């Protein structure tokens, strides 16, 4: 984020974007789309977030393209955040952790998104393996979809579900990170939540969590709107946009320029966190 700005473009090869790029909705079109993004973003941005669903929909051949995408970004020295939103219990959660966070998996990434709604403690296999391999997780905390508040704003034992998730990440980060800096347990907090984090009393700044903020651009989020959503936690924000930046394709130079503009716009609002 210091070197490239606090921005994470997505790789979301859904059918409408493939069509907009003049590509067929096939594995061949998927591969051309994904590897064009690797060429455009590799070495140019802080992080890249491939969305698993748009590769999985093509079955094993699509997953093979995903493996090549992750490998290409690794070769470029660019961090990867695998957007899988996995959540389960026991050995099943352990299996997901091995798939995305172990050193020998072809699907390994630098971090993975996970869902805590079987209880924050159910994520322990992923949290522990990420810590052991030097990777990270981003835990869904406060999302901007209209269905989210029915779960995330619900109150149990005097605090909201979202607050309990933030507290879990804060405790893990405090135990592992030592003095200064951010921890390796991040949180997903939507860029379009408005004042919800403040209204719910979430201590995002005190969590020492990197904060993935999806929803910029086509979904209505703006760099300016991040001030209301994150307040004192702004220096922890890693903004994410997919459709708006990807709409600049398929030209590699145009994609790269769109990502750089987004990073510069965010840096002007978020600033840079040091120490």
* Total-model pTM: 0.95
Quote the pLDDT of residue 225.
82
Q: Show which residues are catalytic.
A: 85
Coil vs helix vs strand at 50 = strand
What six digits make up the tokens of 214? Answer: 């999806």
Token pair of 112, please?
């993975």
Alpha-helix residue ranges (DSSP H) falling in 188-251:
196-199, 225-230, 243-246
**What ranges do the domains of the chain cover?**
1-86+242-268
Residues 6+ apart with CB under 8 A from 206: 170
Per-residue pLDDT at 179: 55
Which residue, 48, 54, 49, is CA-closest to 16?
54
User: CATH top-level class for 1-86+242-268?
Assistant: alpha beta
Sign of the Cα torsion 45, 49, 55, 57 reads negative
Mean pLDDT of the chain: 94
The predicted pLDDT at position 180 comes to: 66
Report the pLDDT value the prediction gives residue 18, as an integer from 0 to 100: 98
What averages of pLDDT result for each successive group of 10 residues across the chain (275 residues)? 94 97 98 98 98 98 98 98 97 98 98 97 98 97 94 94 97 79 95 93 95 84 85 94 93 97 91 51
* Residues whose CB is less than 8 angstroms from the CB of residue 246 and which lie 6 or more positions away in sequence, other chains included: 9, 10, 11, 12, 17, 37, 255
pLDDT of residue 274: 41
Rounded to an integer, what distance in angstroms lies between the CA atom of residue 237 and that of residue 272?
A: 10
Question: How confident is the model at residue 108, as a pLDDT?
Answer: 98
Q: Would you state the pLDDT for residue 275?
A: 36
CB 267 within 8 A of CB 246: no
- Give φ, ψ of 268 to 5 degrees: -65, -25
Assign 114 to helix, strand or coil: strand
- Strand ranges (E), 100-255: 111-114, 136-142, 155-156, 159-160, 185-189, 211-213, 237-241
């Amino acid at each position: 984020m210091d070197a490239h700005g606090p921005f994470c473009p997505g790789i979301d090869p859904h059918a409408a974007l493939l069509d907009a790029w003049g590509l067929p909705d096939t594995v061949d079109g998927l591969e051309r789309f994904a590897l064009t993004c690797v060429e455009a973003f590799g070495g140019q941005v802080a992080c890249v977030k491939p969305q698993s669903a748009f590769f999985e929909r093509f079955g094993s051949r699509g997953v093979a393209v995903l493996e090549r995408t992750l490998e290409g970004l690794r070769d470029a020295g660019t961090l990867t955040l695998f957007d899988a939103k996995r959540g389960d219990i026991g050995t099943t959660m352990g299996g997901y952790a091995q798939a995305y966070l172990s050193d020998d998996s072809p699907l390994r990434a630098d971090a993975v998104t996970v869902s805590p709604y079987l209880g924050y403690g159910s994520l322990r296999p992923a949290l522990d393996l990420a810590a052991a391999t030097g990777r990270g997780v981003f835990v869904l905390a406060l999302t901007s979809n209209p269905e989210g508040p029915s779960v995330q704003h619900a109150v149990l034992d005097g605090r909201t579900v979202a607050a309990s998730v933030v507290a879990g990440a804060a405790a893990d980060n405090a135990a592992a990170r030592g003095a200064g800096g951010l921890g390796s347990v991040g949180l997903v907090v939507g860029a379009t939540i408005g004042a919800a984090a403040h209204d719910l009393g979430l201590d995002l700044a005190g969590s020492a969590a990197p904060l993935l903020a999806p929803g910029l651009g086509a979904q209505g989020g703006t760099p300016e709107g991040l001030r209301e959503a994150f307040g004192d936690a702004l220096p922890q924000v890693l903004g994410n946009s997919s459709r708006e930046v990807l709409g600049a394709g398929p030209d590699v130079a145009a994609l790269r320029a769109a990502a750089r503009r987004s990073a510069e716009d965010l840096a002007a609002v978020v600033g840079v966190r040091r120490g």
